[in-house]
Structure 1
Amino acid sequence: MLHTLAVLVENNPGVLTRVSGLFARRAYNINSLSVCQTEDPGISRMTIMVDGDDAVIEQVTKQLIKLVVVHKVTDLTEEQIVDRELALVRVKVKPDTRLEILQIVDVFRGRVVDMGRTNVTVELTGDAEKIDAFVRTIRPFGLMELVRTGNIAITRLDS
């Protein structure tokens, strides 16, 4: 099962290496990893997507908490969250497919950020399923390049 972990860490050089090294030493694969400074400049937030059963995630969480640079670990898997991913997708275009590709981009609420004679680059945000569906739809036209940020997530609060 895919788990989403939110890890608050010190905003210092080498912290990413220490956290990712913990996963590597235990042979756990990180599916995606996003890191950014929080509202507190001394704290960064890592959003880590990792595949494993509950026992694996419990072990990873315990090991993360032992690191001095880690302040808090939260498993967001069972929480109500808002999550997004950003993708840049470069697609081959021909004069006879350009309009159809632009219509597909519009359906997925993407945005063209660069257009050339033979290719178009699209920016797309949404959950992983939306981006996967866009990639599947556009692949037959000639997927040239795909770059994804990885998932970011925040808990949904009632206000």
Structure 2
Amino acid sequence: MRKTIVATVNNTSGVMNRITGLFARRNFNIESITVGMTENPRVSRMTFVMNVDDQRGLDQVIKQLNKQVDVLKVRDLTDEAIVARELALIKVLSPPQQRGELTDLIQPFRASIIDVSRESITIQVTGDNDKVEALIDLVKPYGIKELARTGITAFKRDTKKGVIDSPKYSVIN
């Protein structure tokens, strides 16, 4: 099953290595990992996405993470209401005569063209994993020259009712 784990940690050198080592010792393969500074420059947020078969083993890793000196908090967000996004940059082979077709193709994904050269265009897309995968599948026939993905970053959705009471701010992937 796919799991999303978030850890807030002290923003110091070596922390990511020690934390990922805990997952490696339990033979968990990390599908994606994102790390970035939070609103407090002394704290970083790590988001791990992985497929696991052994829930007990994962529970043990979370307990071990919580014992680490530099780990401030660990949460399994798998069964929570979350906001999750990924960024992908896709360089697609595109002669000038195909660019209009590609522009029409990416528009429903709210993707944008961020660079153009004689032979290719670079597309930027953000959204959930399924949205990013769907766009990649659609542009594959044109020829993907290069692809870079950030991995998923996520946090728990605010559960207070009436926080946003406008259709303008509806949830869009």
In the superposition, the TM-score normalised over structure 2's length comes to 0.88
1:7-156 aligned at under 5 Å gives the runs 7-53=7-53, 54-156=55-157
Provide the rounded CA distance (Å) in 1 between the counterparts of 2:60 and 2:51. Answer: 13
Provide structure 1 residue ranges, at least 5 long, that are not aligned to the other structure: none
The Cα shift of 1:43 comes to 1.2
- The letter for the 2-side match of 1:65 is N
Partner of 1:8, secondary structure, is strand
Please say if 1:2 is aligned against 2:2. Answer: yes
> Greater CA deviation, 45-54 or 128-137?
45-54
- The letter for the 2-side match of 1:4 is T
Provide the rounded CA distance (Å) in 2 between the counterparts of 1:73 and 1:107. Answer: 36
- The letter for the 1-side match of 2:128 is D
- The letter for the 2-side match of 1:52 is V
- The letter for the 2-side match of 1:22 is L
- Which 4+ residue blocks in structure 1 deviate beyond 6 angstroms? none
The Cα shift of 1:95 comes to 3.5
- Identity of paired residues, percent? 43
- The letter for the 1-side match of 2:85 is R
| Counterpart contact for 2:11–2:44, Cα < 8 Å | yes
Provide the rounded CA distance (Å) in 2 between the counterparts of 1:80 and 1:60. Answer: 22
In the superposition, the TM-score normalised over structure 1's length comes to 0.95
The Cα shift of 1:123 comes to 0.7
Provide the rounded CA distance (Å) in 2 between the counterparts of 1:149 and 1:112. Answer: 17
Deviation per CA, 1:47-94, whole angstroms, max 9, x where unpaired? Answer: 111211422321221121121111111000110011100000000012
Provide the rounded CA distance (Å) in 1 between the counterparts of 2:99 and 2:130. Answer: 24
Partner of 1:12, secondary structure, is coil
Provide structure 2 residue ranges, at least 5 long, that are not aligned to the other structure: 164-173
Q: CA RMSD in A?
A: 1.1
- The letter for the 2-side match of 1:84 is R
- The letter for the 1-side match of 2:10 is E
How many residues align? The count is 159
| Counterpart contact for 2:26–2:57, Cα < 8 Å | no
